[in-house]
Amino acid sequence: MIFRKSEPPQPPEPAPEPTRPGSKGRPTRTRKEAEAARRRPLVVDDRKEARRRDRERAQQERMEAQQALMTGDEKKMPLQHRGEDRRFVRDVVDSRRNIAEFFFPIALVFMLIALVLPLIRPDLTAALSGGMVVILWGGIFLCVIDAFLLRRKLRAKLEERFGGVGQGLVGYGIMRAIQIRRFRLPRPQIKHGEEPR
């Protein structure tokens, strides 16, 4: 004990450096470490199994998106239908009666008549074709006027609700107005004459 060497004094441990606001609190990894973390095999061991899993996952996502379009669940809808502003545009369109949604079925019936009637009564072909032109062009003209009025209404309501008109919202509403109400996706959530949510 008398002949024991004395140990040199240990230096005090440095205090941890205070982290500055917004820092990660750890050192940035090197490029080599980052590339190693990203590296994965180019060829999967079981390609058929991987493809089957991908197909199943894609099919599941499509089914969920289709179900969301039917029920109105915005979380699972396709991106082009999500958002409060898009829902508001859908409600504005669905709350009014649009000429185009009635015109297209009527135009389809007239076209079928124009195809069948000349086979039955060839003498009425000239009169029928003249009447068809008037009815079809008149309907298209009314649809254009209705779309212009809907455009003004959508712009005014979007300005009032959101303070501005987002890109593509008016076109989104006009394309929805052209569709027959029964076949619109996402399904209408309000009835004719109700106020938009």
Q: pLDDT digit string (tens) for 100-152?
A: 988 988 888 888 887 887 788 777 777 777 888 888 899 999 999 999 999 99
Instruction: Say how many Å lie between the first and final Cα of the chain, rounded.
Output: 89
| Residue-range definition of the domain harbouring residue 165 | 83-183
Work out how many domains the chain is built from and give that number: 1
Would 2 be classed as within a structural domain? no
Which range has highest mean pLDDT (30-44, 71-85, 152-166)?
A: 152-166
Let me know if residue 46 belongs to a domain.
Answer: no
Task: Tell me if 155 is assigned to some domain.
Answer: yes
Q: What is the mean pLDDT of the chain?
A: 84
Place of tokens 């076209």: 111
Closest CA to 187 of 120, 179, 161: 179
- 5 lies in some domain: no
pLDDT of residue 187: 92
Distance of CA 189 to the CA centre of its chain: 16
Cα separation, 138 vs 185, whole angstroms: 28
Calpha distance 127→112 (Å, rounded): 16
Model pTM score: 0.67
**Per-residue pLDDT tens over the stretch 48-80:** 888 888 999 999 999 998 898 888 888 888 888
Cα separation, 2 vs 144, in Å, equals 109
Residue pair 144/177 in contact by the 8 Å Cβ criterion: no
